[in-house]
Amino acid sequence: MYIPLGGNRVGKFKLLRNIIIVWLLTGLWHGANWTFILWGLLFAVLLIIEKFFLLKQLEKTPKILNHIYVLFIVMISFIIFNSNNIGQAKHQILGLFGVNGEPIINTYTLYYLKSYAVIFVIAIIGATPLIKNIINGLNRNIKIKKIINLLEPIFIVLIILIVTAYLVDNSYNPFLYFRF
C-alpha cells in the first residue's frame, strides 16, 4: 500500500499523507475498534516525529537508550492494542506509573517477579550480545566450531520445544485474531 502511494520518494506533505493512510488502514485491518485505530495512528505519529525531528538525535543516542525507547513504545502500543476500549488503555497506561491509585509495586508485581524470575533473567541475557560474543570467541577454535555447528540445530529444536511446552501449559489463551 505504501509504495503505490509513492512511498517516501514524494514531497513532505505526500509522505505525511502516506504514513498516516498506511498506519490508519493497518489499525483498521486489525479490527473495528477505536483502540486499533489509535494504535495505528500512534505508530504513524511516532514515525513522523522520528523522521522529521528525532532521527539525528536518535542516531547520536547510546544504543541502550534507543533499545529502552523502543521497548517502552512497544509496551505502550501493546496495551493500547490489547485493550477493549480507550478508557481501559488509559487506566492501564496510567497504572504503569502509579497514577491511577495503584502502587507501582504490589502483591501482583511481586508474584509475577517471583514466578517469572528465571525467564526474566534469560530474556535479559538473550537481549544482549553476550551469547553471540561468547560463541564468536569459541568459533575461533576449529574443533569447538564443529561442535557448535553440530549442537546449534539441536539447541534450536530444544528451545522450540520448551516454548511450545510453556504455551501448552498456559491456561486458555486464544489466538489474538479469534477475538474479532
Q: What's the average model confidence in pLDDT over 141-168?
A: 90
Same domain? For 95 and 133 the reply is no
Indicate if 88 and 122 belong to the same structural domain.
no
Structural domain ending residue among the three candidates 72, 104, 136: 104
Residues 149 and 177 in one domain: yes
SS (H, E, C) 39-89: HHHHHHHHHHHHHHHHHHHHHHCCHHHHHHHHHHHHHHHHHHHHCCCHHHH
- The verdict on 80 and 120 lying in the same domain is no
pLDDT at 78 over 80: yes
Catalytic residue among 14, 30, 51, 90: 30
Q: What percentage of the chain exceeds 90 in pLDDT?
A: 43
According to the model, what pLDDT value does residue 76 have?
A: 95
Residue from 14, 36, 18 nearest 26 by CA = 36
Count of domains forming the chain: 2
Domain identity same for 53 and 110: no
Name the residue range of residue 162's domain: 106-180
Predicted local distance difference test score (pLDDT) of residue 98: 79
Residue 11: pLDDT band (50, 70, 90) is confident
> Would you give the end-to-end CA distance of the chain in angstroms?
23
pLDDT of residue 6: 66
Task: Tell me the backbone φ, ψ of residue 105, rounded to 5 degrees.
Answer: -115, 120
Cα separation of 18 and 30, whole Å? 19
Active site residue 30: yes
User: Is residue 1 predicted with pLDDT exceeding 70?
Assistant: no
Indicate whether 94 and 124 sit together in one domain: no
The answer to pTM > 0.75 is: no
Specify whether 100 is located in the same domain as 153. Answer: no
Same domain? For 134 and 60 the reply is no
Residue 20 has pLDDT above 70, yes or no: yes
Does 85 score more than 60 pLDDT? Answer: yes
Give the closest residue to 55 by CA, choosing from 66, 64, 44.
Answer: 66
Average pLDDT of span 129-149: 91
Whether residues 96 and 32 share a domain: the answer is yes
